[in-house]
């Protein structure tokens, strides 16, 4: 943990407001306490397709919701570039605990980062206050058959259409949505009531059932100027748009590592841990997860510390996506073959985590991401060995 993060923890910024014991007041211990709770509730949340109420409560009570905010706004600064490593650890930890919670936290941190980057001071302060007051945020960018549009009218800005695949729908009251406009794509920070305009009935996936991913009909909503964040086109501005993909990769990594841990534990319990084929599978899993960790960290570090090298930052994150996906698919195959039928039986957590991971691995345009990274490598005049700083820091 960096010096500033340690100081923030010592100052007890974003500390619990419901009188929890002193020993869980440092960030690391609050993070662990939250992760342990998520892991404990994950099976029940999946069964019921809900974000578990105790997790929602702890999200605020343990200061997790406020953690991405800069220290001056009551957080511990996880979105600050100097804290990229702490954010990486946090996303990985939540991914291991429950991939659905990891998804929600990733969106929450991303929205905070976008408003911090492109919004005015007043807009950011308002969001920070709302978060301190118990609100959650997230980025809802996906459009369906009726894509969200916004147009200026006499009394402000009128929305027409809606969003699909919106995680935390019904729970998130300050979503950051993308909307088409005459001037280009806009970002709008909404103020919704819990459950408002939400439809979760279409979310019938294999995994990630407890991510409350739904559709939201925003037609007829009128918003003021102060809700529009940044300039047209900011959302997809590079390198942060594609470069930020490292964050969901870190969550995926946590899920894959959790699977390896469950597999290792079950091999030991069944006294199958000396079998040469199982040993080979363990080696495959450990090296696959380790490789992904290397690439994701390199992409996170590059974006945080050298974002002026925009094309390189994007290419590295795109490659990290490919490595993470391949690694997770290899881990899932090895774990499912190695644990056998038990990996497909409820309530073995391997069954749920593999379902969640295989669903959450589906991210936009993976082929395009790899093709763009390949074009960067082809256009680069230098040697391949000097292309990335994978082992730095």
Ligand X SMILES: Cc1cc2nc3c(=O)[nH]c(=O)nc-3n(C[C@H](O)[C@H](O)[C@H](O)COP(=O)(O)OP(=O)(O)OC[C@H]3O[C@@H](n4cnc5c(N)ncnc54)[C@H](O)[C@@H]3O)c2cc1C
Q: Establish if 161 lies at the interface with ligand X (CB under 6 A).
A: no
146 belongs to the binding site for ligand X (CB under 6 A): no
User: Which residue from 216, 353, 359, 373 is in contact with ligand X, where contact means CB under 6 A?
Assistant: 359
Q: Which is nearer to ligand X, 33 or 296 (CB)?
A: 296
Give me the least distance between CB of 230 and ligand X, in Å please. Answer: 17
**Which region, judged by CB under 6 A, interacts with ligand X, from 6-14, 20-28, 39-47, 165-173?**
165-173
Q: Least separation, in Å, of the C-beta of 25 and ligand X?
A: 31
Helices (DSSP H) in 221-360: which residue ranges? Answer: 240-243, 246-269, 276-305, 310-339, 349-360
Handedness of CA 120, 121, 124, 125 (dihedral sign): negative
Q: How far is the CB of 141 from ligand X (least distance, A)?
A: 3
Task: Identify the H or E element spanning 153.
Answer: strand 149-153
Q: Which is nearer to ligand X, 121 or 367 (CB)?
A: 367
Q: How far is the CB of 143 from ligand X (least distance, A)?
A: 9
DSSP 3-state of 365:
coil
At closest approach, how far in Å is the CB of 216 from ligand X?
10
139 is an interface residue for ligand X by CB under 6 A? yes
CA distance 239 to 64: 27
Could you say whether residue 206 binds ligand X (CB under 6 A)?
no
Q: What six digits make up the tokens of 12? A: 């007890």
Q: Are 222 and 156 in contact (CB under 8 A)?
A: yes
Q: Indicate which single residue of 88, 246, 360, 388 sits in contact with ligand X (rule: CB under 6 A).
A: 360
- The pair of structure tokens assigned to 321 is 């996506």
Q: Minimum distance between the CB of residue 274 and ligand X, rounded to whole angstroms?
A: 38
Q: The sheet that has 137-140: what strands, in order across it?
A: 137-140, 174-179, 186-189, 228-229
Instruction: Compare residues 230 and 366 and give the one whose CB is closer to ligand X.
Output: 366
Quote the radius of gyration of the chain (alpha carbons, Å).
Answer: 21
Q: Which of residues 51-110 bind ligand X (CB under 6 A)?
A: 103, 107
**Helix (H) or strand (E) segment spanning residue 88:** helix 84-97
Tell me the H-state helices in 212-245.
Answer: 240-243
Binding positions for ligand X, rule: CB under 6 A: 103, 107, 138-142, 165-167, 208, 211, 213, 359-360, 362-367
């Amino acid at each position: 943990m960096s010096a500033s993060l340690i100081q923030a923890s010592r100052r007890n910024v974003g500390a619990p407001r419901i009188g929890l014991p002193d020993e869980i007041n440092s960030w690391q211990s609050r993070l662990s306490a939250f992760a342990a709770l998520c892991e404990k509730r994950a099976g029940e949340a999946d069964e019921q397709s809900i974000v578990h109420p105790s997790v929602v409560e702890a999200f605020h009570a343990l200061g997790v919701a406020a953690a991405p905010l800069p220290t001056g706004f009551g957080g511990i600064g996880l979105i600050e570039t100097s804290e990229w490593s702490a954010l990486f650890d946090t996303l990985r930890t939540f991914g291991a605990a429950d991939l659905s919670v990891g998804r929600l936290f990733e969106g929450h941190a991303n929205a905070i980062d976008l408003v911090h980057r492109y919004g005015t001071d007043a807009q950011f302060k308002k969001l920070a206050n709302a978060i301190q007051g118990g609100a959650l945020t997230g980025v809802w960018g996906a459009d369906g058959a009726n894509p969200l549009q916004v147009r200026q009218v006499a009394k402000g800005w009128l929305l027409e259409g809606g969003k699909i695949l919106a995680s935390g729908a019904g729970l998130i009251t300050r979503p950051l949505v993308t909307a088409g406009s005459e001037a280009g794509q806009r970002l709008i920070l909404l103020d919704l009531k819990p459950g408002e305009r939400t439809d979760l009935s279409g979310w019938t996936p294999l995994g990630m059932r407890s991510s409350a991913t739904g559709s939201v009909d925003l037609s007829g909503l009128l918003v003021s100027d102060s809700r529009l964040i940044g300039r047209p086109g900011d959302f997809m501005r590079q390198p942060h748009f594609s470069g930020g993909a490292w964050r969901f990769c870190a969550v995926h990594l946590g899920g894959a590592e959790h699977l390896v841990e469950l597999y290792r534990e079950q091999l030991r319990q069944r006294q199958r841990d000396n079998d040469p084929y199982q040993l080979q599978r363990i080696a495959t899993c450990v090296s696959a997860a380790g490789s992904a960790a290397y690439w994701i960290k390199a992409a996170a570090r590059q974006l945080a510390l050298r974002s002026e090298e925009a094309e390189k930052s994007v290419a590295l994150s795109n490659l990290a996506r490919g490595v993470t996906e391949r690694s997770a698919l290899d881990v899932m195959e090895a774990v499912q073959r190695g644990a056998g039928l038990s990996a497909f039986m409820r309530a073995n957590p391997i069954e749920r985590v593999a379902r969640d991971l295989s669903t959450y691995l589906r991210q936009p345009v993976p082929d395009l991401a790899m093709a763009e990274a390949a074009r960067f490598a082809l256009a680069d005049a230098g040697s391949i060995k000097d292309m990335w700083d994978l082992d730095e820091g």
